[in-house]
Structure 1
Amino acid sequence: MKHQGFAKKSLIALAVVGAFSGSAFAADSVQLYGIIDMGVGHFTGIAPSNTTAAPGSTASYTGLMSGVVAGSRIGLKGTEDLGGGLKAIFKAETGFCPAGTNQTGAGTSGYCTGGSFMGRTTMLGLQGSFGTVQMGRYFTSMFTNEINYDPFQAGFTGAYSNFSLGIFGLNGDAIGSLLRSNQTITYISPSLAGLTVRADYSFNTGAATDPINTAGNKTTMWSLDGNYAIGAATVGANYTKVSNITVNASGANTGAYKVWQAFGSYDLGVAKLMGIYERGTADYYSGNDSSWLVGTTVPLGAGMIMASYGQYSSSLSNTVALSKSTAKQYAIGYSYNLSKRTMLYTSYAHINNDSAAVDRLGTALAVNTATNSNAGVTGQGSSGFAVGILHSF
């Protein structure tokens, strides 16, 4: 009798939950989604984490990664029809570490990507014939282009983000990265004869724990992005400016970092060609930094071959003029779709760092995945190889 009573109560509870869910979501489209990506990666030529290591020494690492192609995540997204062609849209997404957090260069957040709970993407907006207006925390337009016009889509071991200005520009001394922005409002236009325009403004791109920097100025960002598609070709440009950042020796938060970005692709059918170019300048700095990539994807049955070559260079200096330092990367990879939701993959990439420091902090580049961020060693090469599986749901 005890078990029968428990079963009866359980059925009643399920009925109540079902009735509540039906009334709450009757007019809505709500989807639970996610990615679980795990692969074994092997890296050489990375900077040792031991601060007592001899200058110029390198280390190697082999481990199971919580996201080689893409950061593992889980989220909710949905729409509500408000009538008259107007919709409310939302998305809330958090990263997680299916292989554990002891991953080289993955930081200390315990979320592997995003930095905090629901830290990857949190967005609410309205969508209609006028386009889309949204707000929250999400990828910048600059990084979105790096995903769309990189054969490796900012993942694998051959990602453009290993040396792009979206990740590496003024890394450490100013803004950390232009990957995601906080407190952002965005307008995205509908397609106008193939032209789509996006405008972003961030009231404060800084960390939540430091909303106002030491000079009392918030670090703000705005960007304007245009993408034009005609037939098999797409071309576009982006301008991004981050203001009130620390870029001079006095520590005054009055400078700005500005990046121009151009991108394009052409689909030949048997292969797709693509490329990106970025150039950045900073107040109180002489010189500039730049990066570029050319690449291709080649469909092969249920799989795809990816290949790219790119370069990062910098002469930015807030002290004395520097000779332009350079890092070069070549990469190749292959993915195979077991189904619409499950993919096997492998990739290899190598970076050559020249004998000069790559950025103002004396940090060189290294090959990484979508979820780790090792540093390289000046004058040394860095390589990365990975093989794994990705499942989306």
Structure 2
Amino acid sequence: MKKVFFVVAIGALTNVAHAQSTVTLYGIVDEGINYNSNSGGHPLFNMSSGVLSGSRFGLRGSEDLGGGLKALFNVENGFDATSGKFSQGGLLFGRQAYVGLSNIRWGSATLGRQYDALVDYVGVLGAADQWGGYIVAHAGDIDNFNNAFRSNNTVKFSSANFGGLSFGGTYSFGGVAGQFTQNQIWSLGAGYNRGPLVLGVGYLNARTPSNAGGLMGNNTTTATASVVSNPIYAGFTSANTYQVAGAGAAYRFGATTVGATYSNIKFMNLGANGNSSFRAGETATFNNAELNFKYQITPALLLGAAFDYTRGSSVVQTNGVENRGSDYYQGALAADYFLSKRTDVYVVGVYQKASGTNSRNQNAVAAINSLTASNSDRATNVRIGIRHKF
């Protein structure tokens, strides 16, 4: 019996030794000073956090289970370095929080609060994700390329890399008894990255998006109709379905990279999920196109430039009058200098011009993403910042 017990004990210890695990603490602190030419009708100088990269800290880890299988997790908090407050509506791990399994041959399956496939495969090709930060995101981040809205209750699959090709998808449970599709979110995406060429396609579909627990309500505990304030689409939050189809590409010529993205955005069946000033069943459609450019002058100095155009379709109001839609023209420039591998200083400038009639049936005003909207058709924002990664 002693021999048997000894053999079993040795076997157990051997298994524990093989189950190697790692845990990493990481983060970013991004802080800077801004000038906004028109913040609700007045010029504004202020300090803010997390423009180029959201300020954050997180823990990620994995455990080797043998045979190419690993358990993994990631919990990531967003915070405002200016005030010390939590970001993402005060959520403790508002950026992401998930656990799952990965296989070296096939990919990973994870459960929790996660990014959708459109963000993973197409959003990364936009100027905002590469060098501009959230103020360079498409007008109001209307296509969610910059991850303004995150998915709760999500099952996610991300494939391994097959010769440069990868793909994935998400499904988010609505969690409402008797209402299978309420708050439901799903997405699909695929990408190709090999040599100088990068390609990405993606699709996102969210039901009852403005509900608490819906896609646009996942950063708060209140109904999003009162939270989505950007006039570009605040008047469309009564939609039953929010849908985005997008594609992007980038090609590198030595130190120069040229890229482009396109997205088609629909707020479908207006009035089905709340009060609306538009005729029941109407669909508000936007098309967005971006051209971006970056030049790595030296290993330490990066320059970026981008132009973005957002076009809104006409929508019929409840009184029968046609809202002809709005247009947004946006240009951005940036310079980023790395003092070390972990610390850089940067300047980003963005200019936006609006025309037409917005979702509130008012003259369209400039509304740079995540900033207080202008009271005119134009706005400029300039930021000087420092970012440290740890």
Q: What TM-score does the superposition give when structure 2 sets the normalisation length?
A: 0.77
Answer yes or no: is 1:27 the counterpart of 2:3: no
What does 1:4-83 align with in structure 2 at a 5 Å threshold? Answer: 27-47=20-40, 58-83=41-66
Q: Is the 8 A contact 1:38 1:389 kept in 2?
A: yes
Evaluate the alpha carbon distance shift between residue 144 and residue 42 of structure 1 in structure 2; reply closer, same or farther with a 3 A threshold: farther
Measure how far apart 1:217 and its partner are. 5.8
User: Which residue of 2 is the match for residue 382 of structure 1?
Assistant: 379
What does 1:196-211 align with in structure 2 at a 5 Å threshold? Answer: 196-204=166-174
Measure, in 2, the Cα distance between the counterparts of 1:162 and 1:219. Answer: 24
Measure how far apart 1:254 and its partner are. 8.4
User: Which residue of 2 is the match for residue 256 of structure 1?
Assistant: 241
Query: Deviation digits for residues 332-377 of structure 1, max 9, x if unmatched?
Result: 00000100100110011100011x2333565744235xxx432233
Measure, in 1, the Cα distance between the counterparts of 2:331 and 2:200. Answer: 24
User: Which residue of 2 is the match for residue 6 of structure 1?
Assistant: none
Answer yes or no: is 1:323 the counterpart of 2:324: yes
Evaluate the alpha carbon distance shift between residue 227 and residue 157 of structure 1 in structure 2; reply closer, same or farther with a 3 A threshold: closer
Task: Give the secondary structure class of the aligned counterpart of 1:70.
Answer: coil
User: Which residue of 1 is the match for residue 143 of structure 2?
Assistant: 166
Evaluate the alpha carbon distance shift between residue 390 and residue 246 of structure 1 in structure 2; reply closer, same or farther with a 3 A threshold: closer
Q: Is the 8 A contact 1:71 1:113 kept in 2?
A: no
Measure how far apart 1:241 and its partner are. 1.2
User: Which residue of 1 is the match for residue 343 of structure 2?
Assistant: 342
Measure, in 2, the Cα distance between the counterparts of 1:25 and 1:95. Answer: 34
Evaluate the alpha carbon distance shift between residue 245 and residue 42 of structure 1 in structure 2; reply closer, same or farther with a 3 A threshold: closer
What amino acid does structure 1 have at the position aligned with 2:201?
A: A
Measure how far apart 1:324 and its partner are. 3.3
Task: Give the secondary structure class of the aligned counterpart of 2:358.
Answer: coil
Task: Give the secondary structure class of the aligned counterpart of 2:128.
Answer: coil
Measure how far apart 1:321 and its partner are. 3.3
Measure how far apart 1:146 and its partner are. 5.3
Measure, in 1, the Cα distance between the counterparts of 2:388 and 2:112. Answer: 27
Q: What TM-score does the superposition give when structure 1 sets the normalisation length?
A: 0.76
Measure how far apart 1:152 and its partner are. 3.5
Evaluate the alpha carbon distance shift between residue 380 and residue 168 of structure 1 in structure 2; reply closer, same or farther with a 3 A threshold: farther
User: Which residue of 1 is the match for residue 99 of structure 2?
Assistant: 124
Evaluate the alpha carbon distance shift between residue 100 and residue 161 of structure 1 in structure 2; reply closer, same or farther with a 3 A threshold: farther
Measure, in 1, the Cα distance between the counterparts of 2:294 and 2:110. Answer: 32
User: Which residue of 2 is the match for residue 225 of structure 1?
Assistant: 189
Q: Comparing 112-121 with 72-81, which one deviates more in the overlay? A: 112-121
User: Which residue of 1 is the match for residue 113 of structure 2?
Assistant: 137
Task: Give the secondary structure class of the aligned counterpart of 2:118.
Answer: helix
User: Which residue of 2 is the match for residue 148 of structure 1?
Assistant: 124
What amino acid does structure 2 have at the position aligned with 1:237?
A: V
Evaluate the alpha carbon distance shift between residue 360 and residue 227 of structure 1 in structure 2; reply closer, same or farther with a 3 A threshold: farther
Structure 2 unmatched ranges of 5 or more: 1-15, 212-235, 270-280
What amino acid does structure 1 have at the position aligned with 2:160?
A: P
Evaluate the alpha carbon distance shift between residue 357 and residue 45 of structure 1 in structure 2; reply closer, same or farther with a 3 A threshold: farther
User: Which residue of 2 is the match for residue 97 of structure 1?
Assistant: 80
Q: Comparing 278-287 with 303-312, which one deviates more in the overlay? A: 278-287
Answer yes or no: is 1:293 the counterpart of 2:290: yes
What amino acid does structure 2 have at the position aligned with 1:330?
A: G
Query: Deviation digits for residues 77-131 of structure 1, max 9, x if unmatched?
Result: 0111010000111101111222116xxxxxxxx3134641111110111110221
Structure 1 unmatched ranges of 5 or more: 1-22, 48-57, 102-109, 170-176, 205-210
Measure, in 2, the Cα distance between the counterparts of 1:244 and 1:288. Answer: 17
Q: Is the 8 A contact 1:316 1:359 kept in 2?
A: no
Answer yes or no: is 1:314 the counterpart of 2:312: yes
Q: Is the 8 A contact 2:117 2:203 kept in 1?
A: no
What amino acid does structure 2 have at the position aligned with 1:82?
A: L
Q: Is the 8 A contact 1:146 1:161 kept in 2?
A: no
Measure, in 2, the Cα distance between the counterparts of 1:168 and 1:360. Answer: 23
Q: Is the 8 A contact 1:146 1:153 kept in 2?
A: no
- Superposed CA RMSD: 3.1
Measure how far apart 1:253 and its partner are. 8.2
Measure, in 2, the Cα distance between the counterparts of 1:134 and 1:167. Answer: 21
User: Which residue of 2 is the match for residue 351 of structure 1?
Assistant: 352
Measure how far apart 1:318 and its partner are. 5.8
What amino acid does structure 1 have at the position aligned with 2:358?
A: V
Evaluate the alpha carbon distance shift between residue 214 and residue 168 of structure 1 in structure 2; reply closer, same or farther with a 3 A threshold: farther
Q: Is the 8 A contact 1:270 1:298 kept in 2?
A: yes
Task: Give the secondary structure class of the aligned counterpart of 1:153.
Answer: helix
What amino acid does structure 2 have at the position aligned with 1:345?
A: Y
Q: Is the 8 A contact 2:255 2:297 kept in 1?
A: no
What amino acid does structure 2 have at the position aligned with 1:367?
A: I
Q: Is the 8 A contact 2:169 2:189 kept in 1?
A: yes
Measure, in 1, the Cα distance between the counterparts of 2:140 and 2:122. Answer: 11
Query: Deviation digits for residues 307-330 of structure 1, max 9, x if unmatched?
Result: 000011212536253223101100
